[in-house]
Amino acid sequence: MTELKTSTSLLLNIEAIRADFPILSRKVNGKQLIYFDNGATAQKPVSVIDAIDTYYKNQNANIHRGVHTLSQEITVAYENARTTIQKHLNAKHAHEIVFTSGTTASVNLLASSFAKKNIQAGDEIIISAMEHHSNILPWQQLCEEKDALLKIIPISKEGELIIDEFEKLISNKTKIIAVTHISNTLGTINPIKKIIAIAHSKNIPVMIDGAQAVPHTAVDVQELDCDFYVFSGHKLFGPTGVGVLYGKEKWLNELPPYQVGGGTIKTVTFEKTEYADLPLKFEAGTPHIAGGIGLAAAIDYINTIGLEKIAAYEHELLLYATDALQKIDGLKIIGTAKNKVSVISFIVEGLHPFDIGTLLDQMGIAVRTGHHCTQPLMQFYGVPGTIRASFAFYNTKQEIDEFVKTLMRVINMLK
């Protein structure tokens, strides 16, 4: 009954989708651009670009400050953007959505704020072996300052977290667990619901780094029951310089402000300051207003396509590309977890990723090479770096064909 099996690609009108992304029609080094570096940052649809454009042309004013019309209009628009994000994550309250400048800023905010009251000498923090530097360094630095201990959940050679080992790492000193939802280097989808349940059975809060997850999957923070969830706008087809820290109301109320200044207060005297309610308590200074509005436009855009369809189509791309790449002599895929998103890291025996990436770029193909800000992970696999192709829903099988063909040509040149 093969005829009845619907190809998921039929559910998406890829040509129409591609037309929404102006950059996809540009040429690079004289060649039609093939953009396979979506894990680093995603391209922006016209609706996002227009939202930012309209903001600066027609709506610009500061928020939460003025009585004048422009200020009131944009305050409403900005708060609506927050609500869009809240609904997208299925958070209980809009004030549980804190705008930041990105994932890195969100993790830093949380680590600093959390440490003030909750971390003492001898306490322990757990992260995993596949974390991005942005979810290692803030905790590592905090541990150094507070004389706390950073513990690492190990991974299997396939690139999956070893959950049994994770359970053994937990002690009565464990104060917080911070793990990535999806690995930017390996594409592994981690069983975060299970990790959260295990942690909560011991009353330990969990932060999830969702930077690589939100572009590929629907996230329901209430269903996951995570305490914190962080991500960046730019990987979600939105602008750079904006991101989110979701935190459960209870936690955000409890945590002290991170940066302080204008906008974070109720009353200030030189003796004492009373801080504003959530989320303003964590949003010092004038925020990236255009960013917040652009991010909401990006979320609206992907929701008109539907994350379920996106995930199904991207899975097709993943299988198609994995199959084709595996046939190349000497090519080894790094990260072969059962549950993966459309991210493929690989190395080619005897060849340096930099050389491959440089030549692919000459042919108009954008991939990422190097350590992907996951040096400990590279050390685990004993490689200096990998080549990473990461696909979005606007990529096609034809592009993968072209990529594989070019890659083989490049390998021949280098051998």
Partner 1 sequence: MTIEEIENEIVEEFEMFEDWMQRYEHLIDLGKSMPMIEEKNKTEDKLIKGCQSQVWMHSELKDGKIVYTADSDAIITKGMVALMIRVLSNHTPQEIIDSKLDFIEKIGLTKHLSPTRSNGLLSMIKQMKLDAIAYAAKS
Ligand X SMILES: Cc1ncc(COP(=O)(O)O)c(C=O)c1O
Q: Which residue lies nearer to partner 1 by CB, 14 or 383?
A: 383
**CA count, 13 A, side-chain hemisphere, 292:** 27
Residue with tokens 């652009």: 294
Among 20, 52, 89, 102, binds ligand X (CB under 6 A): 102
Quick note: the x/- pattern for ligand X over 186-225, rule CB under 6 A, is -----------------------x-xx-------------
Q: Which residue lies nearer to partner 1 by CB, 50 or 355?
A: 355
Per 3-state DSSP, the chain is made up of helix, strand and coil in percentages (nearest 5) of: 45, 20, 35
Q: Which residue lies nearer to partner 1 by CB, 36 or 78?
A: 36
Residue type, 314: E
Residue 400 to residue 389: CA distance in whole angstroms: 10
Q: How many residues does the chain have?
A: 415
**Smallest gap from residue 103 Cβ to partner 1 (A):** 20
- Picking from 372, 415, 47, 385, the residue whose alpha carbon sits closest to that of residue 180 is 372
User: Of 28, 366, 373, 408, which is the active-site residue?
Assistant: 373
Contacting range for ligand X; rule: CB under 6 A; set: 6-14, 80-88, 98-106, 113-121: 98-106
- Picking from 195, 130, 184, the residue whose alpha carbon sits closest to that of residue 160 is 130
| Range 158-187, binding ligand X (CB under 6 A) | 180, 184
Question: Where does residue 71 rank: exposed (0-12), middle (13-18), buried (19+ CB within 10 A)?
Answer: middle
Contacting range for ligand X; rule: CB under 6 A; set: 101-109, 151-159, 311-319, 375-383: 101-109
Q: Which residue lies nearer to ligand X by CB, 130 or 276?
A: 130
What is the CA 143 to chain-centroid distance, rounded? 24
Q: Provide the token pair at 248.
A: 């459960």
CA distances from 82 to 57, 77, 99, 209, 220 (A): 21, 9, 8, 19, 16
Residue 21 to residue 392: CA distance in whole angstroms: 12
Q: Is 373 a catalytic residue?
A: yes
**Smallest gap from residue 187 Cβ to partner 1 (A):** 21
What does 311 bind: partner 1, ligand X, none (CB cut-off 5 to 8 Å by kind)? none
| Range 347-386, binding ligand X (CB under 6 A) | 373
294 is a site residue for ligand X (CB under 6 A): no
Q: Which residue lies nearer to ligand X by CB, 230 or 410?
A: 230
Binding residues for partner 1 (CB under 8 A):
29, 351-355, 357-359, 362-363, 369-370, 384-385, 413-414
Residue 415 to residue 412: CA distance in whole angstroms: 5
**Smallest gap from residue 10 Cβ to ligand X (A):** 31
Task: Tell me if residue 386 falls in helix, strand or coil.
Answer: strand
Q: Which residue lies nearer to partner 1 by CB, 306 or 384?
A: 384
Residue 152 to residue 168: CA distance in whole angstroms: 11
User: Where does this chain bind ligand X (CB under 6 A)?
Assistant: 102-104, 132, 134-135, 180, 184, 209, 211-212, 232, 373
Active site residues: 373
